[in-house]
Every structure is written in C-alpha cells, then in structure tokens.
Structure 1
Amino acid sequence: MAGTRPIPPPLWKAAALSGMASYLDAGLIVSISVNLAIYRDSYDMGVWMAGAISAIVTGCIAVGSLVGGRLADLFGRRRVYNWDIFCFAIGALVITLAPDDVTLLIGVLIAGLAAGADLPTSLAVVSDAAPPWARGRLVAFTQVMWMLGIAVAIFLGFVLSTTGMTGARLITGQLAVAALVTWALRSRLKLSDEPPEADTEAAPEAISLKGVWTRAALLPMAATFVFYVTWGLGANTFGQFGTYLLVTVSDASQSLATGINLAFIPIGVLLTFAFVRVADSPWRDRLFHVAAVVQILAFVIASLTAGALAGMLVFFVLYQLSNPFAGEANYKVWSQLTLPADTRGTTQGLTYALSRGVFAVAAFFTPALADHSPSVLLWTITACMTAAAFAGVFIIRVLVPRSASAVRDGADPRVPSTWPAGLSDKEH
C-alpha cells in the first residue's frame, strides 16, 4: 500500500523544518493567549484591548499569509522560506523584551506577519519536494509540529503560571530561539540540484495571477477555504481563549485552566501522529466522517452546558479525540492535493489570509460575547463546525478523486518541470 512505503530521511527533515512554521504559528497564538492576563495586568489593558491584541496577532498572520504566499511564487519559494523565519525571530525577541504595550504591539506585528508568510510557503516547499505517494504524510507531519507548538506553550504557561512577566518572557523567548535554530538549519538544506536562479527564470510563467482565477484553482480554493474558516472559528477561539473561557466562564483558577489544557494535549499529539500514518491511505478520508460527527458532538455538549466546568471537561476529551482527524491537518493535505502546484503558494496564501482575517475579527469580539452570553458563543461555533463537516465531505467526494488518478500513476502533472522533486542536503 502506498501509505506504508518508506520515506527517505532527508524528506522527513524537510517536513520537520517546514513544520516549524506551524510550530511557531501555534506557539505565537497560544503564548499570547496564555500571557494575555499577565499582559493585561502589566500594561493595564481592558477587555477590549485584550481582544484587540488577539485580533492583531491573527490579523497580521492573515496579511502575512497573503503577501508571503504571493512573494514565494513571485521571487522563489526557497528564498522566502529561508528568510521569513528569521524575521519571526526578530519579532519574537521584541515581544520578549518589550518594556511597554507599544513595543509589545510592534513585536506582535513583526512576528505575526512573518509567521503568516511562512505558513503557505513552507507547505508549498515540502509539497513540491515530496513524491506523490508520500505527500500526505509529509504535509500532515507539519500538523504534529503545530500540536507541539501548542503543547510547549501551554506546558510552559502551566509551569510558569505564578512567575508573572518573567514567565511570559520565557514563553515567547523560546519561540525566538526555535526560530533562529530553524533558520540556521533551513539555510543548510538544499531543496533541489538546480541553481537558485532557476526560481527566477521560471517565475514569468509560474506567477501569472490568471492561473489563480481558473476553475482548476477556484473550486478547490473555495472549498478548502470554507472548510478551514468554519472549522477554524472554533479551533481558533479555543486556541486563543481556551484558558480565558475556563477562567471567566467556567470559574476555574488560572493554574487549573492551564492544567486542563495541558492534560488533554498529549491525546491530540499522539492522534496527530496516527493521522500522519494514514495520511496517504483511504483511511484518511474515511476517518474524517466519524471524527467530524464526534467533533460536532463535543461542541453541542459544551453549548448545552453553557460552558460549565463539567461540560467543558467532556468537551475537551471529545475534541482532542476528533480534532486530529477532522481539522487543520485535513485542510493542509487536501490543499496540496487539489490546488494547482504553480500557484500553490498564492492560492493557499489566499485561503490562509481570508480565514485568519475572519478569525481576527471574531477574536476582537470574543471576550465581549463570552461575557454577554457564553451559550450564544458556543452554539455559533457548533454551527460553524457543522458547516465544516459538510465542506469536508464535498472535498472528499468531489475534489480528492480528481487528483487520485495522478497519484496512482506515480506522477503529479500539476508539479512544474522547473521544480524537480527530491532533496539533497549540503551536509551529505
């Protein structure tokens, strides 16, 4: 079976380095979430400012995704791939050392833009380098890194929950260190045997925006956008405000709230590894149907109990069991399978950007809506998750089969000849 065919170690290395975009993206969002109460006290923030900070993080990631994906297709994915993560490190350092809220805002702007730029670029890079029979597993592995980004931020938030701004600086500081190390390793990774100029030479044919507004690109772009934006409204809300909601709605303490989040993270990490194992097999889409139903049930229970602590505990169990098989990992794999390769950075950058823009607007109003009516907030998210399930079924039934024949033939006609598959490492 194609899903069990061994993948060469250099490809796994490329997937891990590309997955650092997801690690840093998740780490930035969750770190701001974990530190939000501390920032509020240290910088004298009100409820609307707290929402604004979260909205700015997500909004910058949205803009970065839009611009970064386009720049990658325009000037070369390798070039953008190597440098946007360095810019993230600068932003994370500014956040870490910020003496006031203005400096914090500057750091958030830089880190958010860089994180957004790296998301579509890194996925396009690993997808282009991967053979069709391994693409699902390699792209899905970036989701493991996303889960690890969440796990590390929440773990540090729990351990350092009583240390105030010192702990907050350590949580964001580790992101800066991780980004610098990744930048150094990426700069040593050679993505093809062609000279770097090949990217520029291929650009005039590959970068035309006309390729974005074709049926071949628009239909999968629209479908993956609908799935990601509806699913992400729920996931992003709990990613940014999970601790906040447990404290303000469920009456949990700060330590208990971070502890609850931390306790359920290992389930998500292990099951994300399980998704990687099936990402190139028919079980990837078969399991989606079951997981989507369980995921909806999780939000229904949270809504029925109006966010009470007992209901939230049941929610977290069901959500962590289902999310790895009916969430962002599916979006990443489906995008690489269905979007045209020559404009993959641009098209996925658009879906990322539009979705994150919606998340940013939602984040701004979430604290106020949770204060007004937790039930309305939770039922709205439940409706979004239901819409995501229907969008996922459409992608599975209609769009994925269109790319299946190319995978069975062992070649992907959507990959441009100017970007040969495979990796070689300067170290070897």
Structure 2
Amino acid sequence: MSSVAPTAPGARQKIPGRYWRVAALSGMASYLDSGILVGVSVSLAIWATHYHLSVWMLGSMSAILTVCIAIGSLVGGRLADVFGRRLVYGFDIAFYAIGAVVIVLAPNAAVLFVGIIVAGLAAGADLPTSLAVVSDAVPTWARGRLISFTQVMWTIGILVAIGLGLVTSTMGFAGTKIVIGQLAVVAIATWILRSRLKLEDHSSEQEQAVAETVGLEVVKGISLKNLLTRSVMIPMIATFGFYVLWGIAANTFGQFGTYFLVTVSGATQTLATAIGLAVVPLGIITSLIFVRFADSKWRDRIFFIAAALQIVAFAIGAVSAGAILGAVLIFYILYNIVNAFAGEANYKVWSQLLFPPDTRGTAQGLTYAIARGVFAVVALFTPALLAWNPSVLLWGLVVCIAGSSIIGGFIVRRLIPNAPAVVVAELEGGSGPSPISSVVPVIKVPRRQRSHSGR
C-alpha cells in the first residue's frame, strides 16, 4: 500500500461559489420540510373552523403529514439511487409545489388532505436526494460545510413560517394561504433554478482510484444487498440510533414546546409563542457557526462538549419537572445554543461521509423514514404523558439525549476516523475535487500519516 502525504487541510480552503449554490438549492429541501411542518401547525386552529374539522381529523392531519414525509424519504431516496439523483432532484420539488398549491386552493377538507399528502411525500423524497446530490457534486474536503449548511436552511424555514404565522394571525383563513402559499412560490422558484443548475460529476472511477491508493476496499452498485454488508449496516444502525434518540427529544419540544410552556410551566400563550420565536434566530446563529467548523477537527471535538451540555439542559428541565418557568427558560436557551453542534447537522454530515455513494440516498432515506415514523408515534402519546406526569416525560427525554450522545461518541471515535471519505479528504488536503466512492471501514492508513481535516 502506498502512502500519500497530506497537504493543507481542506477546512482551510475557500469553497467556490458554484458549490455554495448547489448547497443552497439542495438546502431548500430542508427549508420546505420545516416550512410545511410548521405551516400546517400554525394553520390547524383556523382550518378547524373553516373546514369544520373534528379534533380527530386535526390529529390525523399532523400524523399523516409526518408519516408521508417518512414514506417519501424511504421511497425517494431509493428512486434517486436507481433512476438518477438529478431526475428525482427535479421531480420531487415540482410535486411539492403542486401539493402546496392544492392546500392553498383546497375547497374542502378532502382536497386539503390530498394536498398535505402530496406535499409530505415530496418533502420526504427531497431530503435524502438533495443531500446525496451535494455529496456527489462537491469535493470531499468541502462536504461537511456544505451539507451542514442545509441545516441552516431548515432553521430559516421554521423562522419564516412562525414569523408569517404571527404577522397574519389576525387575517384568519387568508393568513393560512399566505403561510402555505410562500412555500409554493419558493418551491417553484427552486425547481426553475435547479433545472438550470450544472452539476459536476465526480466519477466513481476517479474516486475508486483514490481509494485504492490508500488501500480501501470499494463496494459499488445500487443493489439492496449492499445495505446488509457489515461495513454499511454498522454506520446505518449507528446514525439511525443517534438521530432517532436525539430527534425524539428535539421533536417533542419542536411540536409541543408552546403547549408545554402554557400547560406545565404556566406561561401565557403570548409569552410561550414569543419564547419559541426568540430562540429560532439563536438556532440560526449556532448553525452558521457549526458550518464554519464542519470540515475541521473541531467538528467532532466540539460534539462531546455540546452533547454533555445538552444532557445538562434537559436535566435542568427534568429536575424542575417543567413547573419552574425560570428553569425551563435556562433549559431552552442552553439547549438552543448547543444542539446545532450535537444534533441533526451531525447526523447529516456523518451520513454523507459514511454511506457509499451508490446507495447513499437509499441508506439515508431508510434512516430518515424509520426515525420520522418513531417521532410520529411518540407525538401521539406526548400530550397524554404531559397530562399524567411531566416529570416522567422530561426524564425520559434526558435518557434519550444521553443515549444519542453515547452513540454519537461511538461514531466519532470508531467510524468517522476510518471513513474512506474522511481519509481521502485528508489525503487531498483540499487540493482536489475527487470524493471517495466507498464507505468500507477497512482503512490501514497509520494515524501519523494523516492530518486532522474532516475530523
């Protein structure tokens, strides 16, 4: 096996604007995902009156949206691997726009449900596809920053949906048309820009040549049996375990944060809404900071600090049983400061580094889908659990965050250092655009020959 001397770390290299454009247009998948979730949430009360919806129909609407996003992630990721990511990359965003338009123009509840189903399926399909497109089209040494930028877009989607919801809160049914209508406009604009986007093709032949240089075994092909190999299954189970445990805690407060502050902490509806809106810009700032370190050794070093502080944050809320508003505020602020460094952004970056290019959409679509399904089930029981014993729920979330931190530590210590994409980025040193085409963790490169890029 020959060795390659690393050059300057890729994290120090300036990323060309054309790659940021790919990341921004792909990040719209995250913007539209969070936008439809929050948009439907803020519209439910008004839709209930306008469409004469029962409480069961309202609950079904939220559950169906979550399930459709899960199904879309599973099917869309696989379709992207089989039929080509560029093809699915264009179709899913177009179908999202159609779904959003149907929601805006729905004359009755039945049509409204159809629009939600279409938009949910399309949003789910676009999530793994868009991330895989970024990984395919950009250099390995820039992948962390560009992938993590999609998480910034996700947070912006929340901010815009909540902001529009507040601004149009006195407009009644017309306000919901604006909240959802902007998603249709953004989706159409994104579809037009994506159709004109020129994506670079970092061929698997080039990737394989680099991989073989450092003694990596390469697994290729879109066959589902590749997912059952040990080198793929272990990263897939690990990233899923991290994401689902972290997501249970994050999704609980994402969906029921305002409800929790009002019913458990004693805040007024206005104060609870203001708190929820105030922490969103904080999330955007911390996500941008994460982007800065996403291709450096600090990404995974900061993870351990942030993960520990996340546990502390949830523990503060649990100790107070959520009944002390001041303690809950401390929890909210601390959590929103650190979750960008030990949460979904890490999951996105790790997945793109660990999964093989040929089945990257399928693998991440599968972990997305199952996790979203779990979130939907947990959300179904959350209100009842809050009514019974908030302390039990909060301590359960502490356990989830602690579990995700342990799994994340395993990923950082065991999987990432041996991920072929990471090794190749280190050997490239930011000097070349060739990403790796395999994630088989059988690397035999001595640590002394490797830099810290991508670590």
Q: Do they superpose with TM above 0.5?
A: yes
Give the counterpart of 2:356 among 340, 350, 361.
Answer: 340
Superposed displacement of residue 44, structure 1: 4.6
Residue in structure 2 matched with residue 94 of structure 1 by the alignment: 102
Q: 1:155-212 deviations in whole A, cap 9, x for unaligned?
A: 1222223333222221111111111110000000021369xxxxxxxxxx73211211
Q: Supply the distance in 2 between the matched residues of 1:362 and 1:170 (Cα, whole angstroms).
A: 30
Q: Decide whether the 8 Å contact of 1:247 with 1:257 is kept in 2.
A: yes
Residue in structure 2 matched with residue 3 of structure 1 by the alignment: 11
The reply to whether residue 129 of structure 1 matches residue 144 of structure 2 is: no
* Alignment-mate amino acid for residue 356 of structure 1: R
Give 3-state SS (helix, strand or coil) of 2:155's partner. Answer: helix
CA 1:170/1:256 → structure 2, altered by over 3 Å: closer, same or farther? farther
Q: Supply the distance in 1 between the matched residues of 2:258 and 2:181 (Cα, whole angstroms).
A: 20
* Alignment-mate amino acid for residue 345 of structure 2: A
Give 3-state SS (helix, strand or coil) of 2:228's partner. Answer: coil
The reply to whether residue 214 of structure 1 matches residue 204 of structure 2 is: no
Give the counterpart of 1:158 among 158, 166, 173.
Answer: 166
Q: Supply the distance in 2 between the matched residues of 1:13 and 1:263 (Cα, whole angstroms).
A: 29
Q: Supply the distance in 2 between the matched residues of 1:101 and 1:378 (Cα, whole angstroms).
A: 35
Q: Supply the distance in 2 between the matched residues of 1:389 and 1:112 (Cα, whole angstroms).
A: 29
Give the counterpart of 1:394 among 410, 413, 419.
Answer: 410
The 5 A counterparts of 1:248-287 are: 248-287=263-302
Q: Supply the distance in 1 between the matched residues of 2:174 and 2:22 (Cα, whole angstroms).
A: 34
CA 1:304/1:276 → structure 2, altered by over 3 Å: closer, same or farther? same
Q: Supply the distance in 1 between the matched residues of 2:16 and 2:409 (Cα, whole angstroms).
A: 32
Q: Decide whether the 8 Å contact of 2:355 with 2:438 is kept in 1.
A: no
Q: 1:63-113 deviations in whole A, cap 9, x for unaligned?
A: 000000000001000000011011111111222233433222211111110
The reply to whether residue 223 of structure 1 matches residue 238 of structure 2 is: yes
Q: Decide whether the 8 Å contact of 1:57 with 1:360 is kept in 2.
A: no
Give 3-state SS (helix, strand or coil) of 2:377's partner. Answer: helix
Superposed displacement of residue 264, structure 1: 1.2
The reply to whether residue 242 of structure 1 matches residue 257 of structure 2 is: yes
Q: 1:223-263 deviations in whole A, cap 9, x for unaligned?
A: 00000000011111222222233333334343332211111
Give the counterpart of 1:372 among 388, 400, 403.
Answer: 388
The reply to whether residue 24 of structure 1 matches residue 32 of structure 2 is: yes
Q: Decide whether the 8 Å contact of 1:139 with 1:333 is kept in 2.
A: yes
Give 3-state SS (helix, strand or coil) of 2:28's partner. Answer: helix
* Alignment-mate amino acid for residue 107 of structure 1: G
Q: Supply the distance in 1 between the matched residues of 2:286 and 2:138 (Cα, whole angstroms).
A: 23
* Alignment-mate amino acid for residue 70 of structure 1: R
Give the percent of matched residue pairs that are identical in Structure 1 and Structure 2. 59
Residue in structure 2 matched with residue 200 of structure 1 by the alignment: none
CA 1:385/1:286 → structure 2, altered by over 3 Å: closer, same or farther? same
Give the counterpart of 1:313 among 326, 329, 332.
Answer: 329
Q: Supply the distance in 1 between the matched residues of 2:320 and 2:103 (Cα, whole angstroms).
A: 37
Superposed displacement of residue 14, structure 1: 0.2
* Matched length: 407
Give the counterpart of 1:181 among 189, 195, 198.
Answer: 189
Superposed displacement of residue 265, structure 1: 1.1
Residue in structure 2 matched with residue 66 of structure 1 by the alignment: 74
Q: Supply the distance in 2 between the matched residues of 1:51 and 1:234 (Cα, whole angstroms).
A: 20
Q: Supply the distance in 2 between the matched residues of 1:206 and 1:162 (Cα, whole angstroms).
A: 54
* Alignment-mate amino acid for residue 436 of structure 2: P
Q: Supply the distance in 1 between the matched residues of 2:386 and 2:172 (Cα, whole angstroms).
A: 25
CA 1:307/1:158 → structure 2, altered by over 3 Å: closer, same or farther? farther
Q: Supply the distance in 2 between the matched residues of 1:100 and 1:386 (Cα, whole angstroms).
A: 45
Q: Decide whether the 8 Å contact of 2:321 with 2:391 is kept in 1.
A: yes
Q: Supply the distance in 1 between the matched residues of 2:316 and 2:332 (Cα, whole angstroms).
A: 10
The 5 A counterparts of 1:395-410 are: 395-403=411-419, 404-410=422-428
Q: Which runs of 5+ in 1 are unaligned?
A: 195-204, 417-428
The 5 A counterparts of 1:108-119 are: 108-119=116-127
Superposed displacement of residue 413, structure 1: 3.2
Q: Supply the distance in 1 between the matched residues of 2:195 and 2:360 (Cα, whole angstroms).
A: 22
Q: Decide whether the 8 Å contact of 2:138 with 2:200 is kept in 1.
A: no
**Higher alpha-carbon deviation: 407-416 or 343-352:** 407-416
Q: Supply the distance in 2 between the matched residues of 1:94 and 1:255 (Cα, whole angstroms).
A: 31
Q: Decide whether the 8 Å contact of 1:156 with 1:171 is kept in 2.
A: yes
Q: Decide whether the 8 Å contact of 1:127 with 1:336 is kept in 2.
A: yes
Query: TM-score when scaled to structure 2?
Result: 0.85
Residue in structure 1 matched with residue 452 of structure 2 by the alignment: none
Q: Decide whether the 8 Å contact of 1:34 with 1:243 is kept in 2.
A: no
Q: Which has the larger radius of gyration?
A: 2
Residue in structure 2 matched with residue 197 of structure 1 by the alignment: none
